[in-house]
Amino acid sequence: MSKDLLNQYSFRVFLEGAEALELGFSRISGLQVGVETTTYQEGGVNDRVHLLRGPIQRGGTLRMERGVYAGEFCPLYVTGTWLPALKLQVYAHPSQKKPGKTYLFSNLIVKSWKVGTMDALEGRIMIDTFEVTNYRKSSLLRRNF
């Protein structure tokens, strides 16, 4: 794999499945965690309301755009394929040696792939968009910024 090519990207994505893949992306969106809240007015208490939180809602669609893959085989997963894990490393600057933040996601389903240019001379695949959905668990491993 051409590490020089992937080192130009601030977002590095590692997919775990049948084969471990490393991809680089310029833009990532859809990283979110939320919680629903309910207000509750208790009888006899008129100066304030209680705010009750519901369960944490994770998920949605994690969208990765303008990426590249420089491995030995074509990683075009079929839509609907299950991925056990995805690791996202964020670099403040592409030349940085260690990631500033690392996120882990599990139980992913590939929602869509959209491939740009396939260049046989340079041995790379340009990825326009790659979307995964229904990630159930995410965790922040490191924060160095």
The three-class DSSP label of residue 82 is strand
- pLDDT of 105 above 60: yes
How many Cβ atoms from other residues are within 10 Å of residue 142's Cβ?
13
The band of 75, judged by pLDDT with boundaries at 50, 70 and 90, is low
pTM, two decimals, is: 0.71
Q: Residue 22's closest CA among 44, 6, 35, 34?
A: 6
> Per DSSP, which regions of the chain are E strands?
11-16, 21-29, 33-40, 50-58, 61-69, 82-90, 101-119, 124-133, 137-143
Spatial distance between the Cα atoms of 128 and 112, rounded to a whole number of angstroms: 11
CB contact at 8 A, 106 and 137: yes
pLDDT of residue 145: 43
**Six token digits for residue 55:** 């369960």
CA 145 to chain centroid: 19
Please state, rounded to an integer, the average pLDDT across all residues of the chain: 78
**4 sits in which H/E element:** helix 3-6
- pLDDT of 111 above 60: yes
The band of 65, judged by pLDDT with boundaries at 50, 70 and 90, is very high
User: In this predicted model, what pLDDT tens digit does every residue of 4-17 receive, in sequence order?
Assistant: 677 778 888 888 76
Taking residues 38-56, report their average pLDDT: 83
- pLDDT of 136 above 70: no
pLDDT of residue 1: 44
pLDDT of residue 63: 92
Residues 6+ apart with CB under 8 A from 100: 90, 91, 92, 142, 143, 144, 145
CATH 2.30.110 assigned to domain 3-143? The reply is yes
